[in-house]
A and B are shown apart, each in its own frame.
Chain A
């Protein structure tokens, strides 16, 4: 048991008090307090977009708070830079690995902190230090092995060794076990407890509630940039944790609708694409089917596999009247499948080109008369779409001149002339203002009412709750829960995303 010593609290090694931070006028952290104390493993929980990454970046000096202060050893630090964080002994193991794949294990561990002698790297001292931390985290590989030769889980362990090489006083672990095997996760758990006993302050971010409950003695829960709980974990159940993470007010954003399920249009058994594995999925015309879960659990590969953009296979397929999966994007388009990517600047739009050409691009071939483009038909299509979606601005302007919301409308509108039977959407409201969100929601429900199957992947849980007929929740590439109409709630979605056993809906 991870009992917290019941002596008076040690002074916090590093502490954030009332920190605010926003991006482009969009507040992400709104007055957050957190204190990391020596000899304690502190959990940080929150949904996607709750502000966890931003808070980590503030604690490691990568970002400066707009208001509030960072306090090290009881003293306020005015400009808390990465350099200041290093001096304070704060080490962060990021989710995105920061290793150089051409360099060896030893060189990576020492990178940026090579011991020097006479201005040269002291490889003897380096080897000694590396040896110590490698033994600590259980790296048996030859220290000269290049990182590129290691599987992802081992790289994560090297990353942790690299953080320990600096002899930190505060260790921040951001989802450290997401790529680890059960054995490695066990080694890490032992290590974390040992470091705690040696007096380190550990901040532990994880979506695996069992780990959190086993390792941590204190928790801070973030929701929409505010701390909703800062308390001891003694006697807290997983369900209580989930409840702390969700439960915001349903906004008046969503249209009212009633289910009108039509004929079945997709049925998949044993579907695999990229990191999506063994997915069973079925859906009818007229449905809005949600795809949820934590970020990066195979949802995107699932959509792109259906769209023919990544290689996919399945044991049994029926999709838009075809008995096989589309092999290419063109084939998918021919079946009436359209896809709106998440990253509109990179994957959706030709930013430097006009609004008009972006709207017309998928239709240009169809509108052509013989060899020639039909300017007249294209202009008609563009003005029709601009009017239908209230896309503001002269269509001859480059699409990059539009606001994020209007760009997203262009990315969506260009598929409407195809009258898609299946519309796949990847986080369509990310970075979109409220008014446009409302318009997009209304449009999706209207499309469904006209008999389109809308598959909505979203990292915004309320969207899934209030807009979808059914929700598929993904966890580690597999469907961890299918929620039918009436049983969809934020608690149920987050519970399935975290792999808690399904509870019977009331």
Chain B
């Protein structure tokens, strides 16, 4: 009984991540004043939503054996371009959102096409794309921050229908769609196969190149969504706003038990992975330390968490 539980958890590393989050929340809730309040937990979830959404695309890409290092830059691009692209005479604000997401998706398509058809390794392709976008933003926006007045984005960042932040509801929708795509569609099954053995997949008649264009466009799209949500919560977009989310998205994926080598994993682990990251950051902030030390603690913490839950099984 006990043993079968252990083996079952070992077979599904994401369960371990979930248990870890629950433990941290329970312990912190009893020891830190204010941590367990609904308002604080809701705030943590809201922050997790941004990481969770950008990590959804990252999960798909990593499972298929790639990596997207441009998500941070795409988030920044979205946050800065959205105010510029929102026409003043649109009372809903949806036109600006549509235009921004189209650009984010387009960036993803370029990433995917470069990786698939020009055979640029994804790590190089997406890193070059990120650098390119950062340069472009400096030219377009200069160094100044832009404020958002788009009503839809402001609603997204502040409304609480049904008592839950709109961003968290959006995350739930994204999670449902991602889990469905990964575990219930032929597309998801092919991603896993491609990640585990691209040569066999190609010779089995899977359209590997087309799948990778779709993948990176999904990742671009989701990074755009995360960028817009971040803008709504922040009310301001500025160069570098998305930068911290690159490492966070990859860390959430790996914490969730998805193999960084591809071929194995689930978004069901990335969700608690994202929450675990945000919670740890919050706990570090409670400790009175200088920003330098906080960064060092955060980096060490990610490594420690990976040792516990996300370590590659020896093959």
Asked if A368 contacts B203 (CB within 8 A), the reply is: no
Given A329-B202, A347-B203, A414-B204, also A353-B184 (CB < 8 A): no
Which residue of A352, A371, A414 contacts B315 across the interface (Cβ within 8 Å)? Answer: A352
Chain B 193-208 residues near chain A, CB threshold 8 A: 193, 196-197, 199-207
Nearest-neighbor residue (CB-CB) of B208 within chain A: A329
Which residues does chain A contribute within 8 Å of B263, judged by CB atoms? 350, 352-353
Nearest-neighbor residue (CB-CB) of A329 within chain B: B205
Nearest-neighbor residue (CB-CB) of B185 within chain A: A371
Given A329-B205, A352-B264, also A347-B189 (CB < 8 A): no
Which residues does chain A contribute within 8 Å of B199, judged by CB atoms? 346-347
Asked if B205 contacts A348 (CB within 8 A), the reply is: no
Chain A 357-397 residues near chain B, CB threshold 8 A: 357, 361-362, 364-365, 368, 371-373
Query: Could you tell me the distance between the alpha carbons of A365 and B207 in the complex, rounded to whole angstroms?
Result: 11
Asked if B192 contacts A330 (CB within 8 A), the reply is: no
Interface flag for A51 (CB, 8 Å): no
For residue A416, give the distance in angstroms from its CB to the closest CB of chain B: 13
Asked if B192 contacts A353 (CB within 8 A), the reply is: yes
For residue A347, give the distance in angstroms from its CB to the closest CB of chain B: 5
Interface flag for A309 (CB, 8 Å): yes
Given A339-B203, A361-B206, also A351-B185 (CB < 8 A): no
Interface flag for A341 (CB, 8 Å): yes
Which residue of B184, B188, B200 contacts A348 across the interface (Cβ within 8 Å)? Answer: B200
For residue A226, give the distance in angstroms from its CB to the closest CB of chain B: 37
Nearest-neighbor residue (CB-CB) of A418 within chain B: B205
Asked if A373 contacts B200 (CB within 8 A), the reply is: no
Interface flag for B143 (CB, 8 Å): no
Which residues does chain B contribute within 8 Å of A361, judged by CB atoms? 189-190, 193, 201, 204, 206
For residue B195, give the distance in angstroms from its CB to the closest CB of chain A: 9
Chain B 156-208 residues near chain A, CB threshold 8 A: 184-186, 188-190, 192-193, 196-197, 199-207
Which residues does chain B contribute within 8 Å of A364, judged by CB atoms? 186, 189-190
Query: Could you tell me the distance between the alpha carbons of A506 and B232 in the complex, rounded to whole angstroms?
Result: 88
For residue A320, give the distance in angstroms from its CB to the closest CB of chain B: 15
Query: Could you tell me the distance between the alpha carbons of A353 and B262 in the complex, rounded to whole angstroms?
Result: 12
Which residues does chain A contribute within 8 Å of B184, judged by CB atoms? 371-373
Which residues does chain A contribute within 8 Å of B188, judged by CB atoms? 373
For residue A88, give the distance in angstroms from its CB to the closest CB of chain B: 40
Which residues does chain B contribute within 8 Å of A371, judged by CB atoms? 184-185
- Chain A interface residue number, banded: 20 to 34
Contact with B along A328-356 (1 / 0, CB 8 A): 11101100000101000011111111000
Asked if A373 contacts B186 (CB within 8 A), the reply is: yes
Asked if A352 contacts B196 (CB within 8 A), the reply is: yes
Which residues does chain B contribute within 8 Å of A372, judged by CB atoms? 184-185
Contact with A along B262-290 (1 / 0, CB 8 A): 01100000000000000000000000000
Given A349-B197, A372-B185, also A309-B202 (CB < 8 A): yes
Which residue of B189, B196, B207 contacts A330 across the interface (Cβ within 8 Å)? Answer: B207
Which residues does chain A contribute within 8 Å of B264, judged by CB atoms? 352
Asked if B203 contacts A330 (CB within 8 A), the reply is: no
Query: Could you tell me the distance between the alpha carbons of A351 and B315 in the complex, rounded to whole angstroms?
Result: 11
Given A350-B197, A353-B192, also A368-B185 (CB < 8 A): yes
Which residues does chain B contribute within 8 Å of A368, judged by CB atoms? 185-186
Asked if A353 contacts B205 (CB within 8 A), the reply is: no
Which residues does chain B contribute within 8 Å of A339, judged by CB atoms? 203
Query: Could you tell me the distance between the alpha carbons of A350 and B202 in the complex, rounded to whole angstroms?
Result: 11
Given A309-B202, A350-B263, also A373-B196 (CB < 8 A): no
What is the number of residues of chain B that contact chain A, defined by CB distance less than 8 Å? 22
Which residues does chain A contribute within 8 Å of B203, judged by CB atoms? 307, 309, 329, 339, 341, 347-348
Chain A 240-269 residues near chain B, CB threshold 8 A: none
Which residues does chain B contribute within 8 Å of A341, judged by CB atoms? 200, 203
Which residues does chain A contribute within 8 Å of B190, judged by CB atoms? 361, 364
Given A350-B193, A350-B263, A353-B192, also A362-B204 (CB < 8 A): yes
Which residues does chain B contribute within 8 Å of A351, judged by CB atoms? 196-197
Asked if A350 contacts B205 (CB within 8 A), the reply is: no
Which residues does chain B contribute within 8 Å of A309, judged by CB atoms? 202-203
Query: Could you tell me the distance between the alpha carbons of A198 and B219 in the complex, rounded to whole angstroms?
Result: 69
Asked if A330 contacts B205 (CB within 8 A), the reply is: yes
Query: Could you tell me the distance between the alpha carbons of A328 and B200 in the complex, rounded to whole angstroms?
Result: 14
Query: Could you tell me the distance between the alpha carbons of A45 and B129 in the complex, rounded to whole angstroms?
Result: 57
Query: Could you tell me the distance between the alpha carbons of A255 and B265 in the complex, rounded to whole angstroms?
Result: 45
Asked if B196 contacts A350 (CB within 8 A), the reply is: yes
For residue A395, give the distance in angstroms from its CB to the closest CB of chain B: 15
Which residues does chain A contribute within 8 Å of B205, judged by CB atoms? 329-330, 332-333, 362
Chain A 290-342 residues near chain B, CB threshold 8 A: 307, 309, 328-330, 332-333, 339, 341
Query: Could you tell me the distance between the alpha carbons of A365 and B193 in the complex, rounded to whole angstroms?
Result: 13
Query: Could you tell me the distance between the alpha carbons of A329 and B203 in the complex, rounded to whole angstroms?
Result: 7
Query: Could you tell me the distance between the alpha carbons of A341 and B205 in the complex, rounded to whole angstroms?
Result: 13
Nearest-neighbor residue (CB-CB) of A338 within chain B: B205
For residue B210, give the distance in angstroms from its CB to the closest CB of chain A: 9
Which residues does chain A contribute within 8 Å of B186, judged by CB atoms? 364-365, 368, 373
Nearest-neighbor residue (CB-CB) of A349 within chain B: B200
Which residues does chain B contribute within 8 Å of A365, judged by CB atoms? 186
For residue B113, give the distance in angstroms from its CB to the closest CB of chain A: 16
Query: Could you tell me the distance between the alpha carbons of A373 and B182 in the complex, rounded to whole angstroms?
Result: 11
Nearest-neighbor residue (CB-CB) of B188 within chain A: A373
Asked if B193 contacts A357 (CB within 8 A), the reply is: yes
For residue B105, give the distance in angstroms from its CB to the closest CB of chain A: 19
Query: Could you tell me the distance between the alpha carbons of A433 and B264 in the complex, rounded to whole angstroms?
Result: 31
Which residues does chain B contribute within 8 Å of A373, judged by CB atoms? 184-186, 188-189
Query: Could you tell me the distance between the alpha carbons of A309 and B206 in the complex, rounded to whole angstroms?
Result: 12
Query: Could you tell me the distance between the alpha carbons of A346 and B196 in the complex, rounded to whole angstroms?
Result: 10
Which residues does chain B contribute within 8 Å of A350, judged by CB atoms? 192-193, 196-197, 200-201, 263
For residue B300, give the distance in angstroms from its CB to the closest CB of chain A: 31
Query: Could you tell me the distance between the alpha carbons of A332 and B199 in the complex, rounded to whole angstroms?
Result: 16
Nearest-neighbor residue (CB-CB) of A352 within chain B: B196
Which residues does chain B contribute within 8 Å of A332, judged by CB atoms? 205
Which residues does chain A contribute within 8 Å of B196, judged by CB atoms? 350-353
Q: Which residues of B contact A (CB under 8 A)?
A: 184-186, 188-190, 192-193, 196-197, 199-207, 263-264, 315
Q: What are the nearest 6 A-B pairs in CB distance?
A: A333-B205, A364-B186, A350-B197, A350-B196, A365-B186, A368-B186
A350-B192, A365-B186, A373-B184 known; 11 new pairs, CB 8 Å cut-off, are A346-B197, A346-B199, A350-B263, A353-B196, A361-B189, A361-B204, A362-B204, A362-B205, A364-B186, A372-B185, A373-B186
7 inter-chain pairs at a CB distance below 8 angstroms, sorted by A residue, are A330-B205, A341-B203, A346-B200, A353-B192, A353-B263, A361-B193, A364-B186
